[in-house]
């Protein structure tokens, strides 16, 4: 990747696409993604893996990918299981406004049980 490409990447918001067939949200070039599995009859989105190649690290792609997944979950009334450590340990602490979507197995607890 050239210096110019890295500079452009740092200033542009990446385009994230939903790849329903592969169960993931990904960059247009398919190199970076957050992968999910649907559970509970399609009502729960389990975010199982986030991947960003080292050549694209440091541009906030993982955060953009997670944001797209949480937006999708919210717009479809899904709850989210943050199995991926990036989602649970980095994205959610930095973006607490999304915690209301976190799934709880215990119906007595609020969804925001993280």
Please give the positions annotated as active site. 84
Q: Where are the beta strands (DSSP E) in the chain?
A: 16-19, 24-27, 33-39, 44-51, 79-81
18: CB partners within 8 A, 6+ apart:
25, 68, 72
Tokens representing 7 are 């500079």
User: How far is it between the farthest Cα atoms of the chain?
Assistant: 53
Round to whole Å and give the CA distance between 78 and 75. 8
């Amino acid at each position: 990747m050239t210096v110019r490409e890295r500079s452009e990447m740092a200033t542009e918001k990446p385009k994230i696409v939903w790849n329903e067939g592969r169960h993931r949200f990904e960059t247009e070039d398919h190199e970076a993604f957050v992968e999910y599995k649907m559970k509970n009859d399609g009502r729960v989105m389990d975010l199982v893996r986030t991947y960003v190649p080292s050549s694209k690290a440091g541009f906030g792609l993982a955060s953009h990918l997670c944001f797209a997944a949480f937006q999708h979950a919210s717009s479809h009334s899904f709850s989210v299981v943050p199995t991926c450590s990036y989602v649970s340990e980095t994205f959610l602490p930095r973006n607490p406004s999304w915690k209301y979507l976190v799934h709880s197995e215990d119906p007595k607890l609020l969804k925001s049980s993280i």
